[in-house]
Amino acid sequence: MVDATGDGPKRTILFLLVPNFSMIAFANAIEPLRIANRIVGREVYRWRLASSDGAAVAASNGIACAVSSSLDAERRDLVSSNRPSMVLACSGVFVEEYEDKPVFSYLREAHQRGISVGGLCTGAWILARAGLLSGRKCAIHWENLAGFAEAFPMVEVYADLFEIDHNIYTCAGGTAALDMMLALIREDLGDGAVNRVCEQAITDRVRGSHDRQRLPLKARLGVQHAKVVRAIEIMEANLADPLSLAEIAYHVGLSRRQVERLFEREMGLSPARYYLEMRLDRARHLLRQSQLPIVEIAIACGFVSASHFAKCYRELYDRSPQQERAGRLKKAASLA
């Protein structure tokens, strides 16, 4: 624990900004540190910002953020007294296209030297590309989870708010960055300091690492019937190998016809149509967030052929899977 009463150890955190990083995650990570310093009355936490080339970096909202250091300078500092105690990669949209081998190398070297490393929002993708997450637990924004799981099957990825696996810290972004930093402050300064930080930040609850990112299914869908919720949960768990309606009905303890009536009443769709649209939604995330061949995406989403997948996709979204991917790449290039 940090000595809050004297000149005990401080944490120095390096925020490594990646183009199109999430401003909300970055702000929610850095502000609790500032508030903690103010509460304690001294500089318990220090931080600095760096980019690959030392130039300002634009967040996904278009705001450019100036930095004070470059990757070359930070690499030299790894063997000096100025080295950080933690490095957090801050990323956001289009992280799947991010390719910066010197950054990956720097993160590996920092980790090898005993420095804690982590990622905000989609930062887990960068850590995985650096080879730091194999066999580890991590968290990533729910919207990126499907693509990440397909790209890095050796990583244990969860839709939790944040994960701390030894000295590797990852969070889902957004306000989850606040929760991860509160966990860090609690480790250093105790519950009293965390409660005071929460008071200043006007947040009334400290969420735990395994709280889920999204609302429960019932709240998300506005569905109250327990059997419908259970049927949808079964569908979500079986996207790659879809179950028949008879199998779903068996698992929820109803007849096939009862399930059909409930879905028409509660969802305004047949269960078959709802299941199909759920699988196509997963496919859309994979097209936007991964480099997987389209035929592999089709199989991962339970389609027997790429042609059948393309037909269903076009019917729902009015564009082909190829057009979806091309549009994503065009947008990513325009923001680069």
**Cα 179 off chain centre by:** 14
Identify whether the C-beta of residue 19 lies closer than 8 Å to the C-beta of residue 336. yes
Q: Residue 220 above 70 pLDDT?
A: no
* R_g of the chain, CA atoms, integer Å: 22
Confidence band of 209 (pLDDT split at 50, 70, 90): confident
Kindly report, residue by residue over 240-260, the tens digit of the pLDDT: 999 999 999 999 999 999 999
What pLDDT, on a 0 to 100 scale, did the predictor assign at position 216? 60
- Token pair of 32, please? 């609790």
What pLDDT, on a 0 to 100 scale, did the predictor assign at position 37? 96
The 3-class SS string of 268-285 reads CCCHHHHHHHHHHHHHHH
Kindly report, residue by residue over 287-322, the tens digit of the pLDDT: 987 888 999 999 999 999 999 999 999 999 999 999
Domain 11-201: CATH architecture, name and number where available: 3-Layer(aba) Sandwich (3.40)
What pLDDT, on a 0 to 100 scale, did the predictor assign at position 283? 93
Q: H-helix or E-strand containing 171?
A: strand 168-171
Distances (CA, A) of 113 to 124, 265, 315: 19, 59, 53
Which residue ranges make up each domain of the chain? 11-201, 217-335
Kindly report, residue by residue over 130-169, the tens digit of the pLDDT: 999 999 999 998 888 888 988 999 999 988 899 999 999 9
- Write the DSSP assignment of 285-323 as a string of letters: HHHHH----HHHHHHHTT-S-HHHHHHHHHHHHSS-HHH
Q: Which of 298, 305, 260 is nearest to 280 (CA)?
A: 298
What pLDDT, on a 0 to 100 scale, did the predictor assign at position 119? 97
Q: Which of 307, 287, 4 is nearest to 146 (CA)?
A: 287
Helix (H, G, I), strand (E, B) or coil at 229: helix
Helix (H, G, I), strand (E, B) or coil at 326: helix
What pLDDT, on a 0 to 100 scale, did the predictor assign at position 196? 94
What pLDDT, on a 0 to 100 scale, did the predictor assign at position 9? 53
CATH of domain 217-335: 1.10.10.60
Count CA atoms within 13 Å of residue 57 on its CB side: 26
